[in-house]
Chains A and B, each alone.
Chain A
Amino acid sequence: MSETHGDGDGTGASGSGADDGGRDIPEPVRRGLARLVDASVIERIGIALASTILALAIGLVIVAAAGYDAVLFIDNMVYGALGTYNVAELFGTQNRIAKTLRPTVTFILTGIAVAVAFRAGVFNIGVQGQFVVGGFAASITIVSIAGTFPSTATGAAIVIVLATLAAIAAGGLYAMLPGILKAYAGANEIITTIMLNFIASGVVFYLIDSFFRPDGTFFVRTDRFPGHVQFPQLFFEEASFSLVGLAIALATAAIVFLIMERTRFGYDLVTSGYQEEAATYSGVDAKRTIVATMTFSGMIAGLAGAVYVVMVLSYYSNPASIPTFGFDAIAVSLLAGNNPLGVIPAGLLFGGLESGGNYVNQSSDVPRQLIDGVIGLVVLFVAAPELFRMAGKRMGLGGEGR
C-alpha cells in the first residue's frame, strides 16, 4: 500500500524483484539461467535438436537394456517419421511424411489455442473439450446439411465452410463459459476447464447416442460424411491428410501472430498476460479481456476440431476415442514458448514422434509403453530448457544491464 521494498525508498533499484527471487540460488546456476533467458531463436532451436538427439540416445539405451534391437528401433522411428533417409525423396510416392503431417496439423491448431490463452495469463486446460465440441458441431452440421447442397466441389466447399464456422462458434462459446466464470465469479479456470472437458465428452456422447447415431450401427458414432465432403487431395495420396489442412494450420498461426503483434486486441491480451496491473492502468478491462481471451482460444480449438473431422475422421465417433490432442497441445505450446509461430516447429516435432512411434509399433514387437516412454523422454528433454528459461525469466534474470 505504501512503502514497497526497493522502490519506495526512492532507490528505484532496477531488478529489485530479482533480489528476492534468485537470492538463494547459487551463482553458477543463476548465470546458467540468465544465459538461457538470453538465448537467441537459433540457439534455442539448436538446443531443442541437441535435446532430441540426447533423449533418443538415452531412450535407445533403455530399449537395448529391455532386450530389443535399438538400431532397428531408431531406424523405424526415423523412417516412420520421415519415410526416407534421403531428403530428396522426402515427398516421394510413399507419403510417409503425410502420416507425420496429419497429426502435425492438429497439434499446431490446438497448440495455438493453448498459446493464445497462456500468453494472456489465462490457463485454458480445456482445449480438449473445446476441440471435441467443435469437431462435433462440424460433424452434425455436415451430416445435416450436406444433402441440401450439390455433390460438387463447390457444394463441398460451402458445406465445409459452414461446418467450420459452426465449429468455431461452438468452441468459442464452450470456452467463453469458463471465461465468464473466472472473470465474474472468480472461479479458477484451470479447474473449470478440466471439468468442462469431461462434460464435453459426456454430453457429446449422449447427443450422438440419442440423436445422431444411424440405425443399426454397433458403435456410438454419427453417420459417415458424404464422400465428396473432404479437402481436395493435393500432391499427397494419403487419404486422411491434405495440404489444405496444413495450409489452414499455417495460416492460422500467421494470423494469430499478427493479431497478437499488430492489433489493439492482441496488445491488450499479451499485456494482460505480462502484467495485469499495467494492462488495467492502460485502460484494459481485465474481466472482458479474460472472457475475450478464452473465447478466442476456444474458437481456435473449435477450428482444430473442424479440420480434424473433415480431414481425418469423416464422421464423429465416441468422444472418448478421440486422441487427446488438446492436452498434448499444452506441451506443444510450452515448447513453443507460447508463441504462435513457434508452435509450428513444436507441432512438427510432436507429429514426427507420433507417426514414428506408430510405425515402430506396427513394424516391431517393441511394446507401445516403451515407445511412449522414449517419446516422453524426448518431450521432457526438449521442454526442460524452455521451462528453465521461463523460470529464469520469472526470476528476472537475463536481459541487458545485469
Chain B
Amino acid sequence: MSGTGTDGDPASGAQTRGDDAVDGAALAVELDGITKRFGDVVANDGVDFRLERGSVHALLGENGSGKTTLMNILYGLYDRDAGTVRVDGQPREFGSPRDAIDARVGMIHQHFQLVEPMTVLQNVILGHEPTERGLVDEDAARADVHDICQRYGFAVDEHLDTPIRELDLGAQQHVEIVKSLYRGAEILILDEPTAVLTPQEVEALFGVMEELTASGRSLIFITHKLEEAMETADEITVLRDGEAVGTVPAGETTREELAQMMVGREVLFEGADRETTIGDPVLTGQDLVVRGDRGLVKVDGVDFEIREGEILGIAGVEGNGQSELAEAIVGLRPVEAGTVVYEGEDVTDASRRQLIRDGVAYIPEDRQQEGLVMDYDLRRNALLGNQTVAPFVERGIVDWDSVGDHAEEIVQQYDVEPHDTSAVAHSLSGGNQQKFVVGREFEHDPRAILAAHPTRGVDIGSIEFIHDRLREMRDEGLAVLLLSSKLEEIQQLSDRIAVMYEGEFVDVVEPADVTERDLGLMMTGSSVGDDAASPDVAAESGGEQP
C-alpha cells in the first residue's frame, strides 16, 4: 500500500534514503539547517529536509511541531533565521510566494485562497491571465485549463464557469491544485489537505497525488495522520517541537515507530499520586451527537462523566471531534442528539450565557479568534465572558473600575507581559495572550472548567503555573475537562483519559495504565484495550493496519 508512487518512479525507487548526496538528477527540494524563531519561540530548529523528484514526502508531526512554518519558509511566506534552501539544486532566496511560484513551487494552503463569487476558470487564471492585446484571452485559458484537467483526471473541467462557492470543498481543493499546475508548479506543497475532506474526497485526492507523481512532479504532504502518511508517501520526515526527529521510508516503517517518533520519549507520571477523593458527577453527557461546521457528524454518540475533583483528559489527533464536543458542552454549538446534564439539570440546549452564569468556564481553542478581541486593551478584554457577572456588570451597567481591577489581578497573578492593562491584545505575544485568557477564565469562580489546549504556545514556567493552578482547582472540587494535543500534558494532569477518534471515544483509561505510545496508537483508532501496557498487542494492532 505504501510506496504507491515508488514503483513507477525511477528517480527515487532504487537508491537508499538518507543524507547521502544523490547522483544524477538534483533533489527537487533540499532544506539545510532551517531555523526560524518567533520571538522567544523556536518554531524550526536546524531542520534538514530532502524531497526527491517525482516522489511524495510526508511531513508528519503533532500540531505546533513546526510543519507549516517550515513549508511557509520554503514558499517564501516567512524569512528564515538560518539555513539554506535549494530548489532543483539551485540555492534560492524567496522573498515572497511570487518568487516561489516563479521557481515552480506551489502551495495548497489548508484554507483555500479562492475568490468565492468568481468562476473556476477565473480563479485558476487569476494573476496569470493570458492576454491578447490587453484583453484576457479566455479561449486560450479555457483550452489550457481543460488540458490540465484531462491529463490529471480532475473533474472540475465540467464546472469551469461555476462560481467557486457552489463547489464542495473537495472540488475547491482540486481547483487549487489546478491553479498551481496552471502556474507551472513542479513541486507542490499540500498543507493538511485532508483536514477538511470527507473520506471519499480524501480517496479522490490520493488518486490525484498519484497521477501527479507519475508525471514527474514532486509533492510535500503535510499531515498529522499516520495512516495518510504511510499510504501516500515514499518517505516520511517526522517533526517534533520544531526539530526533525528523523526520516524513514514509508515502506519500511510501522505505525508504532512513527507514533513513538511523533510523541517522543516516555515520561514519568506525576498525576497518579494524589489523595483527593472524587465526588459526585458535575457534568455528564449521554449519547452526544454534534455536527461540525460543514454539517458532518463530528461527535458520534459520546458518553462522559466528570466528577467533582476530577480532571478528565481527552486525547486525540486534532479534528477528531474534540473541539466540537467541547463547544457543544459549553453551549456554543447545538447538540444534535443526546443530553448534557450539569449539576443535575438538563443543559443540553442552554445558551452560553446561561452556562457562564451557572459557572462553566471555557478556555477556547483559538485565543485570537474567540478568547480575545484583538483590538481591545486588556481591561476591555477582562470583561469578555464576564458581561453577566457581578460586580463587573450590574443591572446592565458596566463598572469599568472593577473590571480594571480584575484585569490588573489577572496580569499580576498570571504574569502577563506587559504588566499593563492598557496594552492592546494584539500587541501581546501568543503566550501572554494565552495566559491572560487562562487567568480570566480561572478567576470566573467556576464550578466546571473546559480547557482546550490551555498551555498552547506558553513558555515553560507559565505552563508549570497553569498546571499547578489546574490541579489546585481540581483539589478544590472543580470538575475539569482538559483537551490537549500534548500527550504529556494529558498524562500528567488527568485522572482519567478518554481517547477520541473519529467522533467516538475509543477507550477511557487511567493514565497509570498506559504509556504515551499506547495513547498515540489509540489516537489513530487502534483499540489497545485491557492489555494496554503490552507492547505485543500494540505492535500487532499497528502491524495489521498498513
Cβ A401 vs Cβ B398 within 8 A:
no
A396: chain B residues at CB < 8 Å are 426
- A215 within 8 A of partner (CB): no
- A8 contacts which of B68, B78, B331, B355 (Cβ < 8 Å)? B68
Chain A residues numbered 270-309 whose CB sits less than 8 Å from any CB in chain B: 271, 274-275, 277-278, 280-285
- B352 contacts which of A2, A275, A281 (Cβ < 8 Å)? A281
Interface stretch among A10-18, A119-127, A151-159, A341-349? A10-18
Cβ B433 vs Cβ A3 within 8 A:
no
Interface stretch among A227-235, A257-265, A376-384? A257-265
B195: chain A residues at CB < 8 Å are 1-3
Q: At the interface, is chain B mostly helix, strand, loop or mixed?
A: loop
B110: chain A residues at CB < 8 Å are 2-5
Cα(A3)–Cα(B192), bound, Å: 8
A12: chain B residues at CB < 8 Å are 38-39, 41, 429-431, 433-434, 456-457
Q: Nearest Cβ in chain A — how far from B465, in angstroms? A: 17
A271: chain B residues at CB < 8 Å are 373, 376, 384
- B233 within 8 A of partner (CB): no
- B339 within 8 A of partner (CB): no
Q: How large is the interface on A (under 10, 10 to 19, 20 to 34, 35 or more residues)?
A: 35 or more
Cβ A264 vs Cβ B396 within 8 A:
yes
Beyond A262-B400, A264-B396, A401-B427, whether A282 also contacts B192 by CB under 8 A is no
Chain B residues numbered 301-342 whose CB sits less than 8 Å from any CB in chain A: 318-319, 323, 331-332
Cβ A265 vs Cβ B370 within 8 A:
no
Cα(A262)–Cα(B403), bound, Å: 12
B38: chain A residues at CB < 8 Å are 6, 11-13
- B383 within 8 A of partner (CB): yes
A278: chain B residues at CB < 8 Å are 369-373, 384
Chain A residues numbered 11-32 whose CB sits less than 8 Å from any CB in chain B: 11-15, 17, 19, 23-24
- A9 contacts which of B67, B366, B386 (Cβ < 8 Å)? B67
Cβ B457 vs Cβ A280 within 8 A:
no
Chain A residues numbered 309-332 whose CB sits less than 8 Å from any CB in chain B: none
Beyond A281-B370, A281-B385, whether A3 also contacts B352 by CB under 8 A is no
Cβ B373 vs Cβ A275 within 8 A:
yes
Question: Whose C-beta in chain A lies nearest to the C-beta of B423?
Answer: A400
- Count of A-B contacts with CB under 8 A? 170
Beyond A11-B43, A12-B433, whether A400 also contacts B424 by CB under 8 A is yes
Residue-wise, chain B 385-422 has the 8 Å CB interface mask toward A (1 for contact) of 11110000100111010000000000000000000000
Cβ B196 vs Cβ A285 within 8 A:
no
Cα(A9)–Cα(B38), bound, Å: 10
Cβ A14 vs Cβ B429 within 8 A:
yes
B532: chain A residues at CB < 8 Å are none
- A43 within 8 A of partner (CB): no
Cα(A2)–Cα(B352), bound, Å: 23
Q: Nearest Cβ in chain B — how far from A21, in angstroms? A: 13
- B353 within 8 A of partner (CB): yes
Cβ B353 vs Cβ A283 within 8 A:
yes
Cβ B385 vs Cβ A283 within 8 A:
yes
B477: chain A residues at CB < 8 Å are none
Question: Whose C-beta in chain A lies nearest to the C-beta of B387?
Answer: A264
- B526 within 8 A of partner (CB): no
A393: chain B residues at CB < 8 Å are 375
Cα(A341)–Cα(B362), bound, Å: 36
Cβ B39 vs Cβ A13 within 8 A:
yes
Cα(A84)–Cα(B14), bound, Å: 93
Q: Nearest Cβ in chain A — how far from B53, in angstroms? A: 27
Cβ A267 vs Cβ B368 within 8 A:
no
Interface centre among B109, B319, B364, B370 (most CB of A within 10 A): B370
- A237 within 8 A of partner (CB): no
Cα(A268)–Cα(B77), bound, Å: 36
Question: Whose C-beta in chain A lies nearest to the C-beta of B455?
Answer: A10
A268: chain B residues at CB < 8 Å are 387
Cα(A17)–Cα(B110), bound, Å: 15
Cβ B430 vs Cβ A11 within 8 A:
yes
Cα(A119)–Cα(B380), bound, Å: 16
Cα(A286)–Cα(B366), bound, Å: 18
Cβ B426 vs Cβ A15 within 8 A:
yes
- A2 contacts which of B318, B370, B428 (Cβ < 8 Å)? B318
A75: chain B residues at CB < 8 Å are none
Cβ A281 vs Cβ B364 within 8 A:
yes
Beyond A264-B388, A267-B398, A283-B351, whether A10 also contacts B64 by CB under 8 A is yes
- A399 within 8 A of partner (CB): yes
Cβ A275 vs Cβ B374 within 8 A:
yes
- B72 within 8 A of partner (CB): yes
Question: Whose C-beta in chain A lies nearest to the C-beta of B394?
Answer: A264
Question: Whose C-beta in chain A lies nearest to the C-beta of B357?
Answer: A283
Cα(A13)–Cα(B367), bound, Å: 12
Residue-wise, chain B 258-285 has the 8 Å CB interface mask toward A (1 for contact) of 0000000000000000000000000000
- A7 within 8 A of partner (CB): yes
Cβ B63 vs Cβ A2 within 8 A:
yes
B457: chain A residues at CB < 8 Å are 7, 10-12
Beyond A11-B43, A14-B430, A400-B423, whether A282 also contacts B397 by CB under 8 A is no
Cα(A13)–Cα(B355), bound, Å: 32
- B254 within 8 A of partner (CB): no
A261: chain B residues at CB < 8 Å are 398
- B253 within 8 A of partner (CB): no
- B384 contacts which of A1, A23, A281 (Cβ < 8 Å)? A281
- B356 within 8 A of partner (CB): yes
Cβ B364 vs Cβ A1 within 8 A:
no
Cβ A282 vs Cβ B393 within 8 A:
no
A11: chain B residues at CB < 8 Å are 38-39, 41, 43, 69, 430, 457
Cα(A8)–Cα(B109), bound, Å: 14
Cβ B351 vs Cβ A263 within 8 A:
no
A23: chain B residues at CB < 8 Å are 96
Cβ B428 vs Cβ A14 within 8 A:
yes
B66: chain A residues at CB < 8 Å are 9-10
- B139 within 8 A of partner (CB): no
B96: chain A residues at CB < 8 Å are 23-24
Interface centre among B96, B374, B388 (most CB of A within 10 A): B374
- B293 within 8 A of partner (CB): yes
Cα(A23)–Cα(B38), bound, Å: 17
29 A-B contacts (beta carbon < 8 Å): A1-B196, A2-B192, A2-B318, A3-B64, A8-B64, A9-B65, A9-B66, A9-B68, A11-B43, A11-B457, A12-B39, A12-B430, A12-B431, A12-B434, A13-B38, A263-B397, A265-B396, A267-B387, A271-B376, A275-B369, A275-B374, A278-B371, A280-B332, A281-B362, A283-B331, A283-B353, A283-B355, A284-B387, A399-B424
Kindly list the 10 A-B residue pairs having the minimum CB-CB distance in the complex, ordered from nearest.
A12-B430, A10-B64, A283-B353, A11-B38, A12-B457, A401-B427, A281-B370, A2-B318, A282-B385, A283-B352
